[in-house]
Amino acid sequence: MLFNSPTFIVFLFVVFCLYWAIGRRRPQNVLLLAASYLFYGAWSWKFLLLLMASTLVDFGVGRLVAATQDVKRRRALLITSVAVNLGFLGFFKYYGFFVSEAVQLLNAIGFQAHVRTLEIVLPVGISFYTFQSLSYVVDVYRGKLAAERSLLDYALYVAFFPQLVAGPIERATHLLPQFKRERMFAGTAFESGLQLIVWGLFKKIVIADNLAPYVNAVYADPTAYSGTTLLSATVFFAFQIYCDFSGYSDTARGTARTLGFELIRNFDFPYFSRNPVEFWRRWHISLSQWFQDYLYFPLAMRFMRQGGWASKYKAHIISMGLIGLWHGANWTFLVFGLYWGVVIAGYLAISERWAAADEGSWSNRVAGARWLAPISVVTMFAIVCLGWILFRATSLSQVWLILTGMLSPDGIAGVERVGVLQARYLWLLIGGLYLAEFLYRNTQQLASTLMGGEVRRLVVRHALFGAAVLSYVVAQNGLAQPFIYFQF
């Protein structure tokens, strides 16, 4: 059931009406859990059983961890939760990849290996709800959170349908308390939630889905296009994946808000970043924070105790490498993560050298210059696009083809198959998006001052109209296009 489908619009309308008609917390939670299981089970009831199993394991482990003070027993329970969760994730997501790679390696060194791998279908959203459930157990183990006593509330925390399939990855400390309090319908929350839904679906349907055919055509056969077309397709993919993923996140946040809940913001204008650290604080924020809290900080503390000038950078490279691997079972994703780990470590090393220099040094004067900000944003976007080549390509050999093709104005074969007019139209879409986000980012205070009385009612009317138009567009389109991050 896709957000951008007529089926979901009907589903949300029915859930919304029943939810607010009930008006009491516990029956509302029962309705939301049933709706969430229906939403997820629409893909496959087998996937739903896996989700339920993960929920029961971590709920039980959390209770057992809180019930004992024995250090060894608590650690054993934590290891059990980690093993079960990562075992599910590893089997469904990485089993086939590692078996096929092992077979190729054995054949390369002279052993004839023929291992038939299982045809495993990746359960949708498993990477997201696994990390969300696992973070709860770790927080209980660390004493940051009391073990949840209500299976209903915990199951709803894991399966809450707006963010179940592609995040944001919520923390129990933020979302669970919201399920425990009474909710009252608020017109302002409904209006702002509806606006988020409209904006999210606009980014997905109008921008991402129009960029996709161009990007898919070029990346399907990079040898057939010129260097400028390869460059254009890479830039287009940067905006396709941003509008696709942030569009999902905005729709999820808006949907939750209409029901009285607030999800964390997952994107914060990432393409306005001026350095790699800032970019990952603005891009897929919930994933970055998850790895920071549960992997990077423990690794950094361990490496710092070991000493050595490079110890502080190891944690960055390892964490980013695993973030890349989290996205999928392919060498391109691992290299994508390692690429960002090296970029971040290099940036921090250079920054520390500059900081250690004399206060009046040339480097510090340049670092503080206002005129450098636009150059930093453009340079950072180029670094981001280089990383997106690794992310979008299907193999490392294709990455090489694209990079070498970009270095030649005529590309590898010198053949141009994508229309110039189509590219110009797509550039206009991107320009409009950039302008809209720039204005929004720099006029939020002014907008909040003006958003009252008649102005607010006007905006709401336009939001309602936009929702109706988008519903019509999707219905007429026939088949709604899936979101990119559903495959992760």
What pLDDT, in 10s, does the model give residues 64-94?
Answer: 999 988 889 999 999 999 999 888 888 777 7
**In whole angstroms, what is the distance from residue 486 CA to residue 488 CA?**
5
pLDDT digits (tens, 9 = 90+) for 260-318: 999 999 999 899 899 999 999 999 999 999 999 998 888 888 877 776 666 778 888 99
What is the band of 42 on the pLDDT scale with cuts at 50, 70, 90?
A: confident
What separation in angstroms does the CA of 5 have from each of 252, 262, 376, 472, 475? 14, 23, 39, 10, 7
Alpha carbon 327 to chain centroid, angstroms? 9
Amino acid at 442: N
Q: Is position 327 annotated as part of the catalytic site?
A: yes
Token digits of residue 126:
């498993």
- Predicted TM-score (pTM) of the model is 0.85
Please tell me the total number of residues recorded for the chain in this structure.
Answer: 488
> Is the bond leading into 168 cis (omega within 30 degrees of zero)?
yes
Greatest extent of the chain over all pairs of C-alpha atoms, in Å: 77
Cis bond before residue 298 (omega within 30° of 0):
no
- pLDDT tens digit string along 436-461? 776 665 554 444 444 445 555 555 55
State the Cα–Cα distance between residues 406 and 387, nearest whole angstrom.
14
Q: Work out the number of other CB atoms within 10 angstroms of the CB of residue 152.
A: 14
Q: What does the alpha-carbon distance between residue 292 and residue 18 come to, in Å, rounded to a whole number?
A: 39
Name the catalytic one among 174, 284, 327, 462: 327
Q: What pLDDT is recorded for position 331?
A: 87
Neighbouring C-beta atoms of residue 175, cutoff 10 Å:
23
* DSSP E strands, 292-406: none
For 8, residues 6+ apart whose C-beta sits below 8 A from its C-beta are 1, 2
The pLDDT value recorded for residue 107 is 59
- pLDDT over 50 (residue 241): yes
Q: What is the DSSP string of 88-150?
A: HHHHHHHHHHHHHHHHHHHHHTT-----PPP-PPPPTTHHHHHHHHHHHHHHHHHTSSPPP--
Determine contact, residues 353/198, Cβ cutoff 8 Å.
no
Structure tokens at 266: 């997952």
Q: Is the pLDDT of residue 425 over 50?
A: yes
pLDDT tens digits, residue range 353-390?
766 665 545 445 545 556 677 888 889 999 999 999 99
- What is the average per-residue pLDDT within 454-477? 53
CB 411 within 8 A of CB 238: no
Give the chain's mean pLDDT.
81
Q: Which residues contact 88 (CB under 8 A, 6 or more apart)?
A: 50, 53, 54, 126, 130
The residue with tokens 């229309």 is 419
Q: How far is CA 200 from CA 110, 210, 480, in A?
A: 53, 15, 14
Please give the residue that has the higher pLDDT: either 431 or 419: 431
Residue 421 pLDDT > 50: no
Residues 386, 389: Cα–Cα separation, whole Å: 5
